[in-house]
Structure 1
Amino acid sequence: MSFLKRLFKGADEKIPETKDRTLLNIRVGDFVTYDLVDYEVTSKIHYNDSGYTWDAYQLAANGKALWLSVELDDEIEVGMYETIRLPGLEPGARKVTYNGCAYYLEEQGKAYVKGEGRSENVHGKNVDYYDYADDSGEHYLSVEVWGGDVEVSYGYEIEEYEVTILAGS
Protein backbone atom coordinates (compact mmCIF):
# COMPACT_ATOMS: atom_id res chain seq x y z
CA MET A 1 0.00 0.00 0.00
CA SER A 2 1.46 3.36 -0.95
CA PHE A 3 2.14 6.10 1.57
CA LEU A 4 -0.53 8.38 0.10
CA LYS A 5 -3.13 5.65 0.09
CA ARG A 6 -2.45 4.95 3.77
CA LEU A 7 -2.52 8.66 4.57
CA PHE A 8 -5.85 9.19 2.84
CA LYS A 9 -7.29 5.80 3.70
CA GLY A 10 -10.96 5.68 2.93
CA ALA A 11 -10.94 8.81 0.79
CA ASP A 12 -12.06 6.71 -2.17
CA GLU A 13 -14.93 5.16 -0.21
CA LYS A 14 -18.37 6.35 -1.13
CA ILE A 15 -20.30 8.26 1.50
CA PRO A 16 -23.87 6.95 1.73
CA GLU A 17 -26.38 9.44 0.44
CA THR A 18 -29.04 10.74 2.79
CA LYS A 19 -32.35 10.79 0.99
CA ASP A 20 -34.06 14.16 1.10
CA ARG A 21 -36.91 14.07 3.58
CA THR A 22 -40.41 14.97 2.57
CA LEU A 23 -43.70 14.68 4.39
CA LEU A 24 -44.06 11.24 2.80
CA ASN A 25 -40.81 9.74 4.10
CA ILE A 26 -40.19 11.22 7.57
CA ARG A 27 -38.39 8.84 9.93
CA VAL A 28 -38.27 8.41 13.68
CA GLY A 29 -35.26 10.44 14.83
CA ASP A 30 -35.78 13.24 12.30
CA PHE A 31 -36.56 16.79 13.39
CA VAL A 32 -39.54 18.86 12.28
CA THR A 33 -39.96 22.60 12.66
CA TYR A 34 -43.53 23.83 12.86
CA ASP A 35 -44.78 27.20 14.11
CA LEU A 36 -41.21 28.23 15.10
CA VAL A 37 -40.76 25.18 17.37
CA ASP A 38 -38.31 22.35 16.71
CA TYR A 39 -39.77 18.90 17.40
CA GLU A 40 -38.16 15.48 17.42
CA VAL A 41 -40.05 12.72 15.59
CA THR A 42 -40.43 10.10 18.32
CA SER A 43 -43.04 7.83 16.79
CA LYS A 44 -44.61 6.84 13.51
CA ILE A 45 -47.86 4.98 12.88
CA HIS A 46 -48.64 3.76 9.37
CA TYR A 47 -52.36 3.03 8.85
CA ASN A 48 -53.78 0.75 6.17
CA ASP A 49 -57.53 0.46 5.63
CA SER A 50 -57.93 -2.05 2.78
CA GLY A 51 -55.19 -0.40 0.71
CA TYR A 52 -55.95 3.21 1.63
CA THR A 53 -52.97 4.40 3.69
CA TRP A 54 -51.85 7.38 5.74
CA ASP A 55 -49.20 8.16 8.37
CA ALA A 56 -49.11 9.92 11.71
CA TYR A 57 -45.87 11.16 13.28
CA GLN A 58 -45.58 12.01 16.96
CA LEU A 59 -43.60 15.22 17.43
CA ALA A 60 -42.13 16.01 20.85
CA ALA A 61 -40.60 19.22 22.25
CA ASN A 62 -40.48 20.82 25.68
CA GLY A 63 -42.83 18.25 27.21
CA LYS A 64 -45.45 18.83 24.51
CA ALA A 65 -46.53 16.26 21.93
CA LEU A 66 -48.31 16.87 18.62
CA TRP A 67 -49.31 14.46 15.87
CA LEU A 68 -48.53 15.32 12.26
CA SER A 69 -50.95 13.51 9.94
CA VAL A 70 -50.01 13.00 6.30
CA GLU A 71 -52.04 11.32 3.59
CA LEU A 72 -51.77 11.28 -0.15
CA ASP A 73 -55.16 11.24 -1.82
CA ASP A 74 -55.34 13.16 -5.09
CA GLU A 75 -52.99 15.61 -3.42
CA ILE A 76 -51.10 15.66 -0.14
CA GLU A 77 -53.23 16.44 2.90
CA VAL A 78 -51.48 17.54 6.09
CA GLY A 79 -52.95 18.07 9.53
CA MET A 80 -51.69 18.87 13.02
CA TYR A 81 -53.40 17.18 15.98
CA GLU A 82 -53.18 17.35 19.75
CA THR A 83 -54.56 14.71 22.10
CA ILE A 84 -57.52 15.94 24.15
CA ARG A 85 -59.85 14.58 26.81
CA LEU A 86 -63.48 14.21 25.85
CA PRO A 87 -65.29 12.34 28.66
CA GLY A 88 -68.46 10.48 27.77
CA LEU A 89 -67.66 10.27 24.07
CA GLU A 90 -69.50 7.48 22.29
CA PRO A 91 -67.26 6.47 19.33
CA GLY A 92 -69.29 6.41 16.13
CA ALA A 93 -71.90 8.91 17.34
CA ARG A 94 -73.19 11.02 14.43
CA LYS A 95 -72.56 14.29 16.31
CA VAL A 96 -69.97 15.20 18.95
CA THR A 97 -69.56 18.49 20.79
CA TYR A 98 -66.15 19.84 21.83
CA ASN A 99 -65.53 23.35 23.24
CA GLY A 100 -69.07 24.37 22.33
CA CYS A 101 -68.64 23.40 18.67
CA ALA A 102 -70.48 20.58 16.89
CA TYR A 103 -68.52 17.99 14.92
CA TYR A 104 -70.17 15.55 12.52
CA LEU A 105 -69.06 12.04 11.60
CA GLU A 106 -67.50 12.05 8.14
CA GLU A 107 -65.66 8.76 7.92
CA GLN A 108 -65.12 5.59 9.89
CA GLY A 109 -63.34 2.31 9.43
CA LYS A 110 -60.82 -0.19 10.68
CA ALA A 111 -57.12 0.01 9.89
CA TYR A 112 -54.17 -2.30 10.34
CA VAL A 113 -51.21 -0.39 11.80
CA LYS A 114 -47.44 -0.58 11.81
CA GLY A 115 -45.79 1.30 14.65
CA GLU A 116 -42.25 2.57 15.07
CA GLY A 117 -40.43 4.34 17.89
CA ARG A 118 -42.67 4.99 20.88
CA SER A 119 -45.56 3.39 18.97
CA GLU A 120 -43.91 -0.03 18.57
CA ASN A 121 -46.45 -1.35 21.08
CA VAL A 122 -49.28 -0.96 18.51
CA HIS A 123 -47.37 -2.63 15.66
CA GLY A 124 -49.50 -5.33 14.03
CA LYS A 125 -52.74 -4.27 15.71
CA ASN A 126 -56.05 -3.08 14.29
CA VAL A 127 -57.67 0.21 15.26
CA ASP A 128 -61.24 1.40 14.76
CA TYR A 129 -61.26 5.06 13.72
CA TYR A 130 -63.91 7.77 13.45
CA ASP A 131 -63.21 11.12 11.77
CA TYR A 132 -65.33 14.17 12.54
CA ALA A 133 -65.38 17.70 11.06
CA ASP A 134 -67.02 20.92 12.15
CA ASP A 135 -69.43 22.87 9.90
CA SER A 136 -66.60 24.96 8.46
CA GLY A 137 -64.60 21.85 7.53
CA GLU A 138 -61.52 23.49 9.06
CA HIS A 139 -61.39 21.71 12.43
CA TYR A 140 -61.42 18.00 13.09
CA LEU A 141 -61.73 15.39 15.78
CA SER A 142 -60.00 12.07 15.30
CA VAL A 143 -61.25 9.21 17.48
CA GLU A 144 -59.35 5.94 17.67
CA VAL A 145 -60.40 2.86 19.60
CA TRP A 146 -57.48 0.60 20.57
CA GLY A 147 -59.09 -2.45 22.14
CA GLY A 148 -61.07 -0.80 24.93
CA ASP A 149 -59.06 2.45 25.03
CA VAL A 150 -60.49 5.51 23.28
CA GLU A 151 -58.07 8.23 22.14
CA VAL A 152 -59.34 11.59 20.88
CA SER A 153 -57.35 14.29 19.07
CA TYR A 154 -58.33 17.78 17.97
CA GLY A 155 -56.79 18.99 14.72
CA TYR A 156 -56.74 21.30 11.75
CA GLU A 157 -55.26 21.36 8.27
CA ILE A 158 -51.91 22.97 7.66
CA GLU A 159 -50.01 23.71 4.48
CA GLU A 160 -47.06 21.60 3.38
CA TYR A 161 -44.75 24.64 3.40
CA GLU A 162 -45.40 25.23 7.13
CA VAL A 163 -43.29 22.18 7.99
CA THR A 164 -39.51 21.99 7.66
CA ILE A 165 -37.82 18.59 8.00
CA LEU A 166 -34.24 17.89 8.99
CA ALA A 167 -33.04 14.32 8.58
CA GLY A 168 -31.80 12.86 11.85
CA SER A 169 -29.70 10.21 10.14
Structure 2
Amino acid sequence: MSFFKRLFKGADETIPETKERTLLNLRVGDFVTYDLMDYEVTGKIHYNDGGYTWDAYQLAGSGKTRWLSVELDDELEVGMYETIRIPGLEPGAKKVTHDGRTYYLEEQGRAYVKAEGRSQNVHGKNVDYYDYTDDSEERFLSVEVWGGDVEVSYGYEIEEYEVTILAGS
Protein backbone atom coordinates (compact mmCIF):
# COMPACT_ATOMS: atom_id res chain seq x y z
CA MET A 1 0.00 0.00 0.00
CA SER A 2 1.37 3.38 -0.92
CA PHE A 3 2.18 6.07 1.59
CA PHE A 4 -0.68 8.30 0.36
CA LYS A 5 -3.27 5.53 0.55
CA ARG A 6 -2.25 4.78 4.13
CA LEU A 7 -2.22 8.46 4.97
CA PHE A 8 -5.68 8.97 3.51
CA LYS A 9 -7.06 5.67 4.86
CA GLY A 10 -7.06 3.50 1.79
CA ALA A 11 -8.37 3.56 -1.72
CA ASP A 12 -11.98 2.75 -0.83
CA GLU A 13 -12.48 6.12 0.86
CA THR A 14 -12.78 8.86 -1.68
CA ILE A 15 -12.16 12.51 -1.10
CA PRO A 16 -15.44 14.37 -1.69
CA GLU A 17 -15.53 16.71 -4.67
CA THR A 18 -16.09 20.36 -3.94
CA LYS A 19 -18.50 21.88 -6.42
CA GLU A 20 -17.33 25.20 -7.81
CA ARG A 21 -19.07 27.97 -5.92
CA THR A 22 -20.91 30.80 -7.59
CA LEU A 23 -23.13 33.51 -6.18
CA LEU A 24 -26.05 31.18 -6.88
CA ASN A 25 -24.81 28.27 -4.76
CA LEU A 26 -22.91 29.78 -1.82
CA ARG A 27 -23.06 27.80 1.41
CA VAL A 28 -22.79 28.63 5.07
CA GLY A 29 -19.08 28.28 5.89
CA ASP A 30 -17.86 29.65 2.56
CA PHE A 31 -15.79 32.84 2.41
CA VAL A 32 -16.17 35.85 0.14
CA THR A 33 -14.04 38.91 -0.47
CA TYR A 34 -15.68 42.17 -1.41
CA ASP A 35 -14.14 45.65 -1.46
CA LEU A 36 -10.86 44.28 0.00
CA MET A 37 -12.71 42.81 3.02
CA ASP A 38 -12.98 39.11 3.82
CA TYR A 39 -16.28 37.73 5.10
CA GLU A 40 -17.54 34.36 6.21
CA VAL A 41 -20.99 33.28 5.03
CA THR A 42 -22.67 32.72 8.41
CA GLY A 43 -26.30 32.53 7.33
CA LYS A 44 -28.51 32.08 4.31
CA ILE A 45 -32.14 32.99 3.70
CA HIS A 46 -33.94 31.64 0.64
CA TYR A 47 -37.10 33.64 -0.18
CA ASN A 48 -40.01 32.28 -2.22
CA ASP A 49 -42.89 34.54 -3.23
CA GLY A 50 -45.19 32.33 -5.29
CA GLY A 51 -42.33 30.75 -7.25
CA TYR A 52 -40.27 33.92 -7.59
CA THR A 53 -37.11 33.26 -5.55
CA TRP A 54 -33.98 35.03 -4.35
CA ASP A 55 -31.30 34.53 -1.70
CA ALA A 56 -29.67 36.67 0.95
CA TYR A 57 -26.37 35.59 2.48
CA GLN A 58 -25.35 36.88 5.90
CA LEU A 59 -21.69 37.89 5.81
CA ALA A 60 -19.57 38.44 8.92
CA GLY A 61 -16.09 39.91 9.02
CA SER A 62 -14.03 42.48 10.93
CA GLY A 63 -16.87 43.17 13.33
CA LYS A 64 -19.26 43.98 10.48
CA THR A 65 -22.35 42.17 9.27
CA ARG A 66 -23.53 42.66 5.70
CA TRP A 67 -26.08 40.96 3.50
CA LEU A 68 -25.30 39.81 -0.03
CA SER A 69 -28.51 39.65 -2.08
CA VAL A 70 -28.57 37.45 -5.17
CA GLU A 71 -31.47 37.26 -7.57
CA LEU A 72 -31.69 35.63 -10.99
CA ASP A 73 -34.38 37.43 -12.94
CA ASP A 74 -33.72 38.10 -16.62
CA GLU A 75 -30.11 38.54 -15.53
CA LEU A 76 -28.14 38.11 -12.33
CA GLU A 77 -28.80 40.96 -9.89
CA VAL A 78 -26.40 41.32 -6.96
CA GLY A 79 -26.60 43.80 -4.11
CA MET A 80 -24.76 44.55 -0.88
CA TYR A 81 -26.84 45.64 2.13
CA GLU A 82 -26.28 46.85 5.69
CA THR A 83 -28.91 47.04 8.40
CA ILE A 84 -29.94 50.58 9.35
CA ARG A 85 -32.53 52.27 11.54
CA ILE A 86 -35.20 54.65 10.27
CA PRO A 87 -37.31 55.74 13.25
CA GLY A 88 -41.03 56.03 12.53
CA LEU A 89 -40.87 54.16 9.23
CA GLU A 90 -44.25 52.87 8.07
CA PRO A 91 -43.72 49.69 6.00
CA GLY A 92 -45.52 50.05 2.68
CA ALA A 93 -45.38 53.84 2.57
CA LYS A 94 -45.20 55.11 -1.02
CA LYS A 95 -41.97 57.01 -0.32
CA VAL A 96 -39.33 57.05 2.39
CA THR A 97 -36.62 59.62 3.08
CA HIS A 98 -33.27 58.51 4.46
CA ASP A 99 -29.95 60.33 4.62
CA GLY A 100 -31.12 63.12 2.30
CA ARG A 101 -32.46 60.77 -0.40
CA THR A 102 -36.03 59.91 -1.28
CA TYR A 103 -36.84 56.28 -2.01
CA TYR A 104 -39.99 55.12 -3.78
CA LEU A 105 -41.87 51.86 -3.25
CA GLU A 106 -41.04 49.62 -6.18
CA GLU A 107 -42.19 46.18 -5.10
CA GLN A 108 -43.91 44.49 -2.19
CA GLY A 109 -45.10 41.03 -1.30
CA ARG A 110 -45.02 38.15 1.11
CA ALA A 111 -42.43 35.39 0.92
CA TYR A 112 -41.96 32.05 2.62
CA VAL A 113 -38.39 31.57 3.81
CA LYS A 114 -36.02 28.69 4.33
CA ALA A 115 -32.97 29.58 6.37
CA GLU A 116 -29.80 28.09 7.76
CA GLY A 117 -26.80 29.06 9.86
CA ARG A 118 -27.21 32.17 12.01
CA SER A 119 -30.42 32.95 10.13
CA GLN A 120 -32.03 29.64 11.11
CA ASN A 121 -34.35 31.36 13.62
CA VAL A 122 -36.57 32.54 10.71
CA HIS A 123 -36.71 29.15 8.95
CA GLY A 124 -40.26 28.25 7.92
CA LYS A 125 -41.67 31.73 8.49
CA ASN A 126 -43.37 34.23 6.22
CA VAL A 127 -42.05 37.75 5.78
CA ASP A 128 -43.73 40.81 4.33
CA TYR A 129 -41.25 42.78 2.24
CA TYR A 130 -41.17 46.24 0.71
CA ASP A 131 -38.45 47.22 -1.75
CA TYR A 132 -37.66 50.87 -2.40
CA THR A 133 -35.36 52.54 -4.92
CA ASP A 134 -34.11 56.11 -5.29
CA ASP A 135 -34.38 58.27 -8.43
CA SER A 136 -31.04 57.05 -9.74
CA GLU A 137 -32.11 53.41 -9.27
CA GLU A 138 -28.66 52.79 -7.78
CA ARG A 139 -29.55 52.89 -4.07
CA PHE A 140 -32.12 50.71 -2.35
CA LEU A 141 -33.98 50.25 0.89
CA SER A 142 -35.26 46.82 1.83
CA VAL A 143 -37.93 46.69 4.53
CA GLU A 144 -38.91 43.34 6.01
CA VAL A 145 -41.63 42.75 8.58
CA TRP A 146 -41.10 39.59 10.63
CA GLY A 147 -44.21 39.28 12.80
CA GLY A 148 -44.12 42.63 14.57
CA ASP A 149 -40.42 43.36 14.01
CA VAL A 150 -39.43 45.74 11.21
CA GLU A 151 -35.93 45.38 9.74
CA VAL A 152 -34.54 47.95 7.32
CA SER A 153 -31.45 47.57 5.15
CA TYR A 154 -29.72 50.07 2.90
CA GLY A 155 -28.07 48.71 -0.21
CA TYR A 156 -26.62 49.23 -3.64
CA GLU A 157 -26.04 47.12 -6.71
CA ILE A 158 -22.66 45.49 -7.24
CA GLU A 159 -21.22 43.47 -10.08
CA GLU A 160 -20.67 39.72 -9.87
CA TYR A 161 -16.96 40.11 -10.66
CA GLU A 162 -16.49 42.27 -7.52
CA VAL A 163 -17.01 39.22 -5.30
CA THR A 164 -14.36 36.51 -4.91
CA ILE A 165 -15.52 33.18 -3.47
CA LEU A 166 -13.55 30.56 -1.54
CA ALA A 167 -15.46 27.37 -0.79
CA GLY A 168 -15.37 26.47 2.88
CA SER A 169 -16.12 22.79 2.30
- TM-score norm. by structure 1 comes to 0.95
What is aligned with 1:40? 40
> Hey, what's the Cα distance between the residues in 1 that align with 2:123 and 2:129?
16
**Secondary structure class of the residue paired with 2:91:** coil
Identity %: 82
What is aligned with 2:156? 156
Per-residue deviation, 1:21: 0.2
Structure ID, larger Rg: 1
**Secondary structure class of the residue paired with 2:18:** coil
Give the letter aligned to residue 163 of structure 2: V
Query: Residue by residue, what CA displacement relative to the aligned partner does 1:65-104 show, whole Å, maximum 9, x if unpaired?
Result: 0000000001100000000000000000000000011000
Structure 2 unaligned runs (5+)?
A: none
* Change beyond 3 A, Cα 1:61–1:5: closer
* Change beyond 3 A, Cα 1:12–1:5: farther
> Hey, what's the Cα distance between the residues in 1 that align with 2:2 and 2:159?
50
* Change beyond 3 A, Cα 1:84–1:6: closer
Give the letter aligned to residue 55 of structure 2: D
What is aligned with 1:132? 132
> Hey, what's the Cα distance between the residues in 2 that align with 1:8 and 1:114?
40
What is aligned with 1:147? 147
* Change beyond 3 A, Cα 1:53–1:7: closer
**Secondary structure class of the residue paired with 2:19:** coil
* Change beyond 3 A, Cα 1:68–1:6: closer
Per-residue deviation, 1:12: 5.7
Instruction: After the TM superposition, list the runs of 4 or more consecutive aligned residues in structure 1 that deviate by more than 3 angstroms.
Output: 5-9
> Hey, what's the Cα distance between the residues in 2 that align with 1:145 and 1:6?
58
**Secondary structure class of the residue paired with 2:70:** strand
Query: Residue by residue, what CA displacement relative to the aligned partner does 1:20-42 show, whole Å, maximum 9, x if unpaired?
Result: 00000000000000000100000
Q: Which moved more, 1:10-19 or 1:38-47?
A: 10-19
* Change beyond 3 A, Cα 1:17–1:152: same
Query: Residue by residue, what CA displacement relative to the aligned partner does 1:139-169 show, whole Å, maximum 9, x if unpaired?
Result: 0000000000000000000000000010001
* Change beyond 3 A, Cα 1:68–1:7: closer
- TM-score norm. by structure 2 comes to 0.95
Structure 1 unaligned runs (5+)?
A: none
Query: Residue by residue, what CA displacement relative to the aligned partner does 1:10-66 show, whole Å, maximum 9, x if unpaired?
Result: 146432110000000000000000000100000000000000000000100111000
Give the letter aligned to residue 95 of structure 1: K
Per-residue deviation, 1:5: 6.4
Per-residue deviation, 1:6: 8.9
Give the letter aligned to residue 8 of structure 1: K
Give yes or no for the alignment of 1:62 onto 2:62: yes
**Secondary structure class of the residue paired with 2:124:** coil
